[in-house]
Amino acid sequence: MVVVLAVHAEVLVLSMLRRLSFVSVVALVVTVSGSMLTACSSNNYKPPGVALPDKFPINCIPGSECTRADSTPIGQDKYRQIVVLKTLDDTEKVHEFYKTEVVMKGYRLNSDNNRRGAIQMECMSDAAKLDIHLEPVSNMTIISISYDPKLDHVK
């Protein structure tokens, strides 16, 4: 009887340790993932050149330069925004950055097409449409981002 209880207690302790290790691993993964998400979404890079429109909804790839920016009122205190950037990074690196960035900002990537090296990404959220066009030119990548917020239905 004592031997059976000892074996039973050992199995119970091992089972608890396994669960504890699993919980520790899950906690570690959540902690690491959380800090990675924070690192990705807290990119506050402000490119040199032309100033970005107020409240531009997506981060610019670090190292880029803004060559053109426009913000046009469309009603309901909302603005259609267009930004053109250039970077010395290759198109594939820029593509990977923005694929991650749009997801981190809550957009769904509806299409992602590569046509002869030029990449067109169409993204949607409940609040807006975001189009990103990447064009390799010489030794740089030209990035064109257009943000088109949805207007609220007027009743």
15 pLDDT higher than 60: no
Q: Where are the domains of the chain?
A: 1-42, 65-149
pLDDT in tens, 47-100: 999 999 999 999 999 999 999 999 999 999 999 999 999 999 999 999 999 999
Measured CA distances, 120 to 6, 40, 81, 133 (Å): 65, 22, 17, 5
pLDDT in tens, 21-40: 443 333 333 333 333 333 33
pLDDT in tens, 101-117: 999 999 999 999 999 99
Q: 3-state SS string over 9-70?
A: HHHHHHHHHHHHHHHHHHHHHHHHHHHHHHHHHCCCCCCCECCCCCCCCCCCCCCCEEEEEE
Q: Spelled out in words, what is the top-level CATH class assigned to the domain 65-149?
A: alpha beta
Place of tokens 């207690």: 9
Q: Cα(34)–Cα(39) distance, rounded to whole angstroms?
A: 9
